[in-house]
Every structure is written in C-alpha cells, then in structure tokens.
Structure 1
Amino acid sequence: MENLRMNQAVRAECESYVGRERVVADTIAPETASKLATLLGRRMPAEGLPPTWHWAYFNHGYPVTDAGEDGHERLGLFLPPAPFHRRMWAAGDVTIHRPLQLGLQATRRSIITAVDFKTGKSGDLCFVTVEHSITQGGDSAIDEIHTVVYRDRGLAEKALRGQDDPVPEGFFVHPDMELYFYSALTHNGHRIHWDRGFCRTVEGYPGLVVHGPLMATKLCHSMMDEAEADGSGEATLHRFAFRAQAPVFETTPIRLVVEAGGGEAARKGRVERSDGVTAMTATLGLT
C-alpha cells in the first residue's frame, strides 16, 4: 500500500520549492558577538567574526502566527511542506573567503537547491538543501551548504544518565540555561531546545535537545585551538564541514575529540557521547 505522505503528489509539491530564494540583510552587531563570546567562554573578537558565529545573524524573524507546532517558521512559507514532524540540522559545509567585519551590514542570499526523499533505518526521510551566500561591502565572505532532514517521530529516546547522576571524567553536559541563551542569540524558536514538556510528550525525547550548530561551533573551536597549539597558528580557517549522526540531550555527557594534526591542512574531529556513540563528525580545512 502506498504511503500517502510519500506519494508522487507530495513529492512534487515539495520538489517545486527548489529555486525559492530568501534574502536577509543584517548588521554584524558587536553586542551579539559579545554575548556569544560570553556564552562560549571565548574572547571577544577585535575585528573579524570567528568561524560559525555568523549563525547568530541573518535569522529571519516571523510573527507567532507563522510558527508551526514545533516553534519553527511553519513549513510551506519558505521551506517545503515536508510530511514529517521532526526536523533537524543534519549537516553544514561552510567555506570562508574572508571574516565578516563587526559593525558593518552584510547580506545573506539563501536558495533551496535540492529536495530529496529517502528511506533509511529510521523510516522515510526528506532532505532539504539550502545554499547560503553571504556578502559584505559587495565582496563574497561566506558560502554555506545547509542540509535539513525531516523524519517521523519514532520510539521514545532514553537518557544516558539521570539529571543528578555524576558526569564521567573528561566529559561535560549542556545546562538548560546554555540552550536557552543560544536559542535566543540565534533567534531559534524550535521547542526541542527549551520546552521539556514538548520534548517528552510530543517528540518522545528524555529532555531538551542540544543544538547541532552549538556543538559544531564548540568542535570547530577545539579543532582550531589544537591547530594553534601544534604550530599551525598562522594558518587561516578556510572550510569547516560537519555532519550530525546521533542526538545529544541536556543530560548526555559528551567530549570533543580532535585527531592529531601534525600541521596538515585538513583535520578531523568528532563529538563523542559517553556510551561511545559518535554524535557528530567534522572536517576543518586550513590555508
């Protein structure tokens, strides 16, 4: 029997969104960068915006009447009306031509370039690829490929540890306030990051979900710090690509693992959960 949500009419409607564009202009406000630096425990940049920090900018605002059940902008306004309930940031590939300068306006042009339906171990999936191009002062600054995945809600997920259980040595967890602040800084209304009731009763999660971009930013920082420590400090980050592989919740202990670089132009890293599962992989390219 044909899955009604995967029939040709549904596919055709979603695929018709390929080519849709959205343009957002934003000022790279130092105040936002300062708040993000405080949250991440990093130094406030003097001029150029650090890699991945642009995710705190260019976030399209929408009235609450345009919000979907999950708090995101309702599907069908820009992103296609995929017939699934869960949505996650599956992967990102960021190419940096030059850092965005603080205090100046920049423009991000986004275009949907692909909509693909697939069937995996967890069921039917819909992958949406959005390509972003950010310019400042007429010059190209950042190109990014952003992949979103939509899927059905499955069986309830289990927590790796209780809220009050000790965190294994060498691992850390994400306090709920960190998730709240990151959601606010990135104008992210997704309820899986701030609404425990929604997580548990609707999504089947044991608690709040840690943002993929937040973990990617921390992993990027760790990889860059490692490069600087082993003698590649003069190198410039040109590309950072990551892929999410497993969920991380507020009580999930994780650690950032950076493979020995030895001064190579390409480095690899991962986010590892305390049960040994890899939650995210990443590659960092230096020039």
Structure 2
Amino acid sequence: GYSGQSLFVPNWFIRRRGLAIGLAFAGVGIGSVTLLPWVQHMIEHAGWRTACTALGIVVLVVLAPINLLLRKKPEEIGLRPDGDAAPLANAAKPVSNVVDAAWAGVDWTLARAMRTTRFWWLALGYFFGLYVWYAVQVHQTKYLLEIGFSSSVAVWALGAVSLLGIPGQIALGHLSDRLGREAVWGLGCLGFAICFAALIALKAAPSLLLIYVMVATQGALGYGLTSVMGAVALEIFQGAHFGSIFGTLMLIGLCGGAAGPWVTGVLYDHTLSYTPGFVIAFVGAFVSAAAVWIAAPRRVRLVAGQLHRLKTVAGTAA
C-alpha cells in the first residue's frame, strides 16, 4: 500500500504534497481501528474463510476503483495538481520550485539514477528507516512481557502506537510542506531513536512514564516517515521513470524491514538480551536521518513553505 500509493498520490499535489500523503496514509491506522474489530467479529461468528472472503470483496469493490481513478497524472485527463484552474493568458507565471535546473532537467531512468550517489544515500536511508521500524514493531510486545509488564500493558502499547500514528502522519506531512522533506524524515528517525532509548532504559528502570515516552515518540513521530517516503524520492528523481526508481528504493528499504526483526532476533538468541539489537537500531535511526539529509531533496526542489527563498532571489534579479 505505501509503495503503490506513494507512486501516484504525489502527482496530484505539489503545494500540499506532504499533507495529502499524510492524510492518505493515516487511513492505515483508521482502517486498523475500524476494520480489524469487524474482521475479528466475523471470524468468531462465521469463520476465518468467510472473513477473508469478505475482506477481499471490500478491497476489490472499494479500493480497486479508487486506485484506478487516480492512477493517471492530472495533466493526462485535463486537470492540474492541487485542483488549480488553468492559468489565464495574462496571469503572472508562478515561481518554479526547482533549485537545480540541470538536475531536474535530466530524464531520470533507473540506470541513470543508480549511477548517482544520491540514489544510494536514499537507499541507505530507506534501508535503515524500515529496519528500525520493523525491529521495534515485531519485538516490542515480547520485550515488554519479558521485563515484567502485563499482557494488557503490552497490547495497549502496540495499539496506542497505531492510533498516535494517525495524527502524527497528518501533522508531519503538513510540516514537511513547510520545513522540507528531510527535516521531517529526521524528526521521524529521532522518534524511533528516543523509542529505542526508552526501551533500553525500561529494562533498568521499568515505569509507565517510559512506556508513554516510547509509545508517543514511536507513533506520533516515527510513523511520520510514511508521509514523506514517496515525496523524498520524487523531489529528486521526478519524471516518467519514477515508478521503477521508487520501486527499487522500496525494495532496498523492505530488505531493511526484513533485516531489522531478523538481526534483533538472532542477537537475542545469542545474548539472551534485546539490548544489543536495540542499540544497533538506535544507531540505525541516526544513519537513516543523515543519509536522507545528505541526499538533500531541498537542493533539487523546494517545498511550498520554502518558495519565499526563490521569490526573494527572483525579485532581486528583476
């Protein structure tokens, strides 16, 4: 879902791209809250086969038509991004958000993109971004039970993270339209870093306060990565071949998502402690933030909240 929608949702928005993606991906949390209880109720009363069939029908009838409706770019069907009307003949030309015209003017194919250092910095950022995400998501509940918390607290913590992810994704998506994509990616990684620090501290000093810190930073900040996951790459490699470029980046990122739980689990098996795995993930969060910052989408295209820089430059030149 994240990979597919990150390909076409950004095409429909420029000024409020981050907010739009944040709203779209907040639907994951909303769906968890609304659909999962319904599916569970159906499993209990009609069996899992009926529940799976019903969920499949919902996806086919509701989700498929919406995706087909949005799969094209707005320009291909006579529309404009952000719902704008066609410009008048005598209207002032809007200020372009392109900073590096030479880079933006390249017809980026996957092969060309992979020959740039920017691509591999993004790949590193995506790898460790999903590494830390899935490392905590998979092992968090077992860890809390192991250090003495009740099952009700462990389950509440996991559910609360998803709930906080709803406003977090929307807020950070909106913030990315003001501050820039890499700034919000950094905030998301900082959230995961604080989350892992709290988890490590919980073993030495178990307290509900640290649970609240862990849940709040993971959900409200960490989950915000999804609101800029597509936009970060699009600002750099926008073009006709963006699908293959972003798909490859996500493939590398998903390798990180697979490695995170596996490495954390293997380290636990060998040390009988989650601390080494959590320390690696803590460091990985900063590696991810630094990699996306070095890739620097802001040096190719500015977000709407930063356009005043170009307007100032244009006004000075005039």
TM-score by length of 2: 0.28
TM-score by length of 1: 0.31
Greater gyration radius: 2
The structure with more helix, counted as a fraction of residues: 2
